[in-house]
């Protein structure tokens, strides 16, 4: 069963491949599969959006971290 680590790795691979839409799709599917997003899955998705020129989506994700009780780290701030 996929966990947050495998999801984060897949999201990161999407980021490296320039597939920000797929990264967001994977991130959005986390909770549907009973997986809680963490700072790493958020950061990878934010970075994918930023690299894809989707700054509004990146900031939206960054701002949603607090609502989900996920504390940003240096990587999150750098990506946003």
Could you read off the pLDDT of 38-74 as tens digits, one per residue? 999 999 999 999 999 999 999 999 999 989 999 988 7
Q: What is the pLDDT of residues 6-46, one digit of tens each?
A: 999 999 999 999 999 999 999 999 989 999 999 999 999 99
Residue of 3, 51, 62, 19 whose CA lies nearest to 11:
19
Q: Give the number of other CB atoms < 10 A from CB of residue 76.
A: 20
Statement: the pTM of the whole predicted model exceeds 0.75: yes
Q: How many CA atoms lie less than 13 Å away from 68 in the CB half-sphere? A: 16
């Amino acid at each position: 069963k996929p966990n947050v680590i495998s999801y984060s790795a897949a999201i990161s691979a999407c980021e490296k491949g320039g597939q920000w839409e797929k990264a967001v799709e994977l991130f959005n599917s986390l909770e549907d599969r009973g997986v809680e997003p963490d700072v790493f899955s958020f950061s990878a998705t934010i970075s994918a959006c930023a690299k894809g020129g989707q700054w509004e989506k990146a900031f939206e994700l960054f701002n949603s971290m607090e609502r989900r009780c996920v504390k940003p780290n240096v990587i999150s701030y750098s990506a946003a």
